[in-house]
Amino acid sequence: MDFMVPAGVRLDLADGTMCFPDEMRIQVSGRHPLYGEKMRIVRAGKTRWIEPGEIWESPERLKRTDREKLWVIRGERWVPTVVRGPGRSQYLQITNISEEKKLLLDSYEEIGMWLALDSVPRSPGYVSVGSRR
């Protein structure tokens, strides 16, 4: 068996991670990174407030490559949208879908990740751009 469950913490020895009861995953020290060296996280970049129904567009362009695929994740009160720009560039928009509350989008909030074409995110909730899910 590749994992053990002591005190509610799941140790996945196959890929060297610990998973806490709230599904937060941490890489065990001294192990190879979960996705290798080629994984790039897409973050919000700057802490900001987004009004209900408002759309915020990331100022950073996302360059498409033939060797990588973009995977995005939605939040509890926000939804990402990938908009294609001129050439191979893409822009990421975040929409606040809550009806009454302002959304605080933290600078460290993980919005997506670039992975090699043959890799799939191990964390739950990610969908590839163009997926119908």
Which long-range contacts does 74-77 make (Cβ < 8 Å, 24+ apart)? 74/125, 75/109, 77/101, 77/103
Q: What does the domain layout of the chain look like in residue ranges?
A: 1-34, 36-128
In this structure, what DSSP letter does residue 43 have?
A: E
Alpha-carbon distance 61 to 42, whole Å? 11
At residue 1 the predicted structure's pLDDT band, cuts being 50, 70 and 90, is: very low
Residue 130 vs residues 24, 28, 51, 77: alpha-carbon distances, Å:
26, 33, 27, 21
pLDDT digits over 10-61, tens only?
A: 777 666 777 777 777 777 766 566 666 677 888 888 889 999 999 998 877 7
- Taking the complete model, does pTM exceed 0.85, yes or no? no
Q: In DSSP terms, which residues pair with 93 in a beta bridge?
A: 57, 81
| Token pair belonging to 110 | 């993980």
Other CB atoms closer than 10 Å to residue 40's CB: what's the count?
13
Q: Contact at 8 Å (CB) between 70 and 120? A: no
| Token pair belonging to 44 | 């919000």
- The CATH code belonging to domain 36-128 is 2.70.40
pLDDT digits over 65-109, tens only?
A: 778 888 899 888 999 998 888 877 788 899 999 988 899 988 888
